[in-house]
Structure 1
Amino acid sequence: MALMISVSGIRGVYGSDLTPQNLTRFTAAYGTWLKGGNVVVGRDTRVTGQICEDIVCATLQSVGCNVIKVGVVPTPTVAMSVLKHNAAGGIIISASHNPSEWNALKLLNSKSEFLDSEQGQRVIEISESESFDYKKFDEIGTLSEDPNALEDHIDRILDLPYIDADLIASKNYTIAIDPVNGTGGIAVPPLLEKLGVSTIHKINEAPNGLFAHNPEPLPEHLEDICKLVVEKNCDLGIVTDPDSDRLALVTDKGELFGEEYTQVAAFELILEKNPGACATNLSSSRAAEDMARKYGQQCHRSAVGEINVVKKMQEVDAVIGGEGNGGVINPNLHYGRDALVGTAMILQILAERDVSASEYRAGLPDYFMRKGKVQLEGIDGDAVLEQAETVFADMQPDTTDGVKINFEDGWVHLRKSNTEPIIRIYSEGTTPEKAEELAEKVRKKVF
């Protein structure tokens, strides 16, 4: 597979696609675009993290940037550090949910947000033209460290007015965690301890980057944490991806809470206290709309992608946002997905209601999602999307990002992949059968 280049950074298998050469080229382009200033650099636990960090830091210095290293920390901790240091930007060295052999550079701007399309395209142009602004020996940037970045991030979470650590501590929760050998093993335990969690059971906690299972927090990868919750009589199971920006939950019965419902619960905590607009992407569950409607509010939809949700949140002044992949975006902290603040918010809502995780989940609406794809070999993807828009024109499809068709009892979303020659077909219904039925109905009419 070739190096994946997008407006938010580069990603690939280290040593074949992601090499020291393209790490240097892309970092130099980013630093040149910034025109110097402070840049925060952090990484996840991957084996190649340190060598990538060394290359990135030296390259940033060579184009006049002053580097502030925050070490092995969650992606949202890097974002918080950009704000803390009033930095020009930040680089996160992490391939998120990709396997251990992958690594990546994810780029932040001065607002601690991922680069938008215009900003990212400019970095790509500088990289391709190799128009780097390397500095002379007396103009190179400095290198310093901030060992308190994670502690400061946790403290900011506890400072949120609606997070009551004393209330949470009074529940004497027993929690199981599976950080899949990523940064959650470093970050989640101290957060839980400061929230007064009495007992923490851990699996796959060693932060060595050798992921014990596929690191994407999907149901088929989470059997062990479900068993641990039952065996240890835990109140909740917490699962993070390697860079701790996605949060999946397991109820006290050892059942999956559902990644789509992480943001729904977070929405409720905020909307109950501070009613206002919320936002998520087009492929997230209809449960988000249901929760917004419960509090008399509107849930706005954006194109798929974290920065698109963030832009929509800012456009409508949303009080909370997120993505159905377990991403909670709390603007009271920063505009980015954050599994740590998501964890605190989930414990807070359970403590306030004095209910178990399974009881709370039972009170949320049930939807079932189906995710499929169609290979585009010999097929014009744009023509397929145009056909879908035409065939279902009377249903006023949303064409913000591909084509989304809303039915009374579900929806179907077709969109071209940015990384593969496929069209993704996501559908949701009130039953698994309905989700399948709706997807097949659309597929037959447009392919």
Structure 2
Amino acid sequence: MESSKTLIASTSGIRGIFGAGLGPEELMRYAGAFGAWLHRQVSGRRPRVVVGRDGRVTGSICARIVTATLESIGCDVLDAGLATTPTVEVAVQAACADGGIVLSASHNPAEWNALKLLNRQGEFLTPGEVREVLALAEASALPLVRYEALGSYEARDFLDEHLQRILALDFIDPERIARRQFRVLVDGINSVGAIALPALLRRLGVVEIRLVNGEPHGRFAHPPEPLPEHLTGTIAAVAESGVDLGFVVDPDADRLALIADGGVYVSEELTQVIAADFLWRFREGPFVTNLSSSRAIDEVAARYGMPVYRAAVGEINVVQKMKAVGAILGGEGNGGVILPDVHYGRDALVGAAMILQHLANLEQSLSELVATLPRYAMVKYKLPLDHLDAETALARLAERYAHARISTIDGLKIDLDEGWVHLRRSNTEPIVRIYAEARTAAEAEALATRFIEELQTIG
């Protein structure tokens, strides 16, 4: 395989395997293009850019290359160092910066890294804006400046600003949380969540924090996507330690998975559902999630008479829909919670604070709370593209199921009485993702298998 084939430049950012598609040349080209794009936005002054990274082994060298590139083309750099993606998003706002770069490949394996690009609101660029940056990367040489016009460099820690925004929420009461004397296990997946989440829990009055995989050296102790099959050791640790619950994050801490008392994994799909169940007790307003998220959110919304809107998968798509409908909360079924009161971005720390407050208010355990929520089973598959013509196959499936409730805003979602299936080409990996949900695991498996077979034969 040619190394260039491991580089994926899309509206979700630029990611690849370091040393096999993503290296100094690519980092300079795309960071330089983003800096040049920012110069066009601000016109007449030096852009200010926040750069932060997760704990990956390659993070430090990538950050040095990116910050030096930005300085060399006349951008002032604020280096947030080891920082969660939501912390960098908050930092862009707090520093009145013109943009930001997060160096993190999220749930991808340790050998991957990525540049995720933020606008001056600390939100991901729109697809159109990303295309503008990619066009500059392809068309332009690095726009170096003379020495007297070089950008400045400053290292600054923004974690406290992030925590202060969460603690200032009118519905977060650290004293009430402290009275519950929570004992919490945190799986930091050897990255930045191991720093940020315990810091928040201490400020919330959690009396005991058991940190596993807590050294942020980037050599992940298990596959980084917080799925139950990857968390057997963590689940066992929750059961054996007798803590009240476990929090698990991904490497950049924008996703939050839960483990209930006794060592029972709680579907990532329920993270946003629990957050919504909490907030709707205090506020009225719409919720926005993506097409791949569980029907459980719709059932909980019905209890409160609240509307739910669906957007294409991807944080920027959910955020744009949230703004359009005036949503008070949003999220994605992968454990992402988006609370505009803090910032428009998925945030594991926000999710953790809301869940602890909900449990404190209800005086329930996590397992007791989960028992009150709708029960669905979801399966998720990845189908390598190989020789599959995904676009043609999905178009033919849409024609075949034209009689059903379908959506084509993001791949193809088919809603049936017995469940739903969502098939879409990934923005971050060379695969087609297949999600299926039904009332039971067997029904969801059958639904997924049926449509995988149809996809392969029709394509």
TM value normalised by structure 1: 0.96
Aligned-pair distance for 1:383?
2.7
Residue 34 and residue 354 in structure 1: after superposition, are their counterparts in 2 closer, same or farther (change >3 A)? same
| Residue 38, structure 1, aligned to residue 45, structure 2 | no
Residue 61 and residue 399 in structure 1: after superposition, are their counterparts in 2 closer, same or farther (change >3 A)? same
Please list, as runs of the form range in 1=range in 2, the aligned pairs for 1:79-228 lying within 5 A after superposition.
79-147=89-157, 149-228=158-237
CA distance in 2, matches of 1:206, 1:408: 47
Query: In the alignment, is the contact (CA less than 8 A) between 2:78 and 2:156 conserved in 1?
Result: yes
Query: In the alignment, is the contact (CA less than 8 A) between 2:11 and 2:427 conserved in 1?
Result: no
CA distance in 2, matches of 1:423, 1:106: 21
Query: In the alignment, is the contact (CA less than 8 A) between 1:176 and 1:200 conserved in 2?
Result: yes
| Residue 16, structure 1, aligned to residue 20, structure 2 | yes
1:99-157 Cα deviation digits (max 9, x unpaired): 2222111110011111111110010000001244322111111111223x101111110
1:377-429 Cα deviation digits (max 9, x unpaired): 55432332222222221223111111211112311112233455543321100
Alignment equivalent of 2:272, drawn from 263, 268, 274: 263
1:33 maps to a residue whose letter is W
Query: In the alignment, is the contact (CA less than 8 A) between 1:168 and 1:347 conserved in 2?
Result: yes
CA distance in 1, matches of 2:207, 2:388: 56
CA distance in 1, matches of 2:243, 2:346: 26
Aligned to 1:338: 347
CA distance in 1, matches of 2:423, 2:12: 23
Query: In the alignment, is the contact (CA less than 8 A) between 1:226 and 1:250 conserved in 2?
Result: yes
Q: Which is worse superposed, 214-223 or 290-299?
A: 290-299
Please list, as runs of the form range in 1=range in 2, the aligned pairs for 1:280-295 lying within 5 A after superposition.
280-295=289-304
Corresponding residue pairs, total:
446
Query: In the alignment, is the contact (CA less than 8 A) between 1:168 and 1:197 conserved in 2?
Result: yes
Alignment equivalent of 1:305, drawn from 300, 314, 320: 314
Aligned to 1:5: 9
Q: Which is worse superposed, 402-411 or 257-266?
A: 402-411
Gaps of 5+ in 2: 40-45
CA distance in 2, matches of 1:203, 1:280: 30
CA distance in 1, matches of 2:117, 2:129: 10
Alignment equivalent of 2:411, drawn from 397, 402, 409: 402
Q: Which is worse superposed, 371-380 or 276-285?
A: 371-380
Aligned to 2:42: none
What is the RMSD of the two structures over their aligned residues, measured on CA atoms?
A: 1.5
Query: In the alignment, is the contact (CA less than 8 A) between 2:63 and 2:103 conserved in 1?
Result: yes
Residue 444 and residue 29 in structure 1: after superposition, are their counterparts in 2 closer, same or farther (change >3 A)? closer
Residue 81 and residue 376 in structure 1: after superposition, are their counterparts in 2 closer, same or farther (change >3 A)? closer
Q: Which is worse superposed, 205-214 or 435-444?
A: 435-444
CA distance in 2, matches of 1:26, 1:266: 36
Residue 32 and residue 344 in structure 1: after superposition, are their counterparts in 2 closer, same or farther (change >3 A)? same
**1:133 alignment partner, SS class:** coil
Residue 226 and residue 422 in structure 1: after superposition, are their counterparts in 2 closer, same or farther (change >3 A)? closer
CA distance in 2, matches of 1:33, 1:121: 11
Residue 244 and residue 295 in structure 1: after superposition, are their counterparts in 2 closer, same or farther (change >3 A)? same
1:253 maps to a residue whose letter is G
Aligned to 1:50: 60
Aligned to 1:27: 31
Aligned-pair distance for 1:55?
0.9
Residue 242 and residue 444 in structure 1: after superposition, are their counterparts in 2 closer, same or farther (change >3 A)? closer
Query: In the alignment, is the contact (CA less than 8 A) between 1:93 and 1:103 conserved in 2?
Result: yes
Residue 333 and residue 174 in structure 1: after superposition, are their counterparts in 2 closer, same or farther (change >3 A)? same
CA distance in 1, matches of 2:50, 2:391: 39
Q: Which is worse superposed, 112-121 or 436-445?
A: 436-445
| Residue 351, structure 1, aligned to residue 351, structure 2 | no
CA distance in 2, matches of 1:9, 1:79: 15
Aligned-pair distance for 1:373?
4.3
Residue 272 and residue 383 in structure 1: after superposition, are their counterparts in 2 closer, same or farther (change >3 A)? same
CA distance in 2, matches of 1:378, 1:196: 54
**2:56 alignment partner, SS class:** coil
Residue 176 and residue 421 in structure 1: after superposition, are their counterparts in 2 closer, same or farther (change >3 A)? closer
CA distance in 2, matches of 1:164, 1:188: 17
Alignment equivalent of 1:231, drawn from 240, 248, 272: 240
CA distance in 2, matches of 1:363, 1:247: 20
Query: In the alignment, is the contact (CA less than 8 A) between 1:7 and 1:124 conserved in 2?
Result: no
Query: In the alignment, is the contact (CA less than 8 A) between 1:391 and 1:445 conserved in 2?
Result: no
Q: Identity over the aligned pairs, expressed in percent?
A: 49
CA distance in 1, matches of 2:82, 2:70: 18
**2:105 alignment partner, SS class:** coil
Aligned-pair distance for 1:349?
0.6
Q: Which is worse superposed, 385-394 or 70-79?
A: 385-394
2:170 maps to a residue whose letter is P
**1:384 alignment partner, SS class:** helix
Query: In the alignment, is the contact (CA less than 8 A) between 1:8 and 1:116 conserved in 2?
Result: no
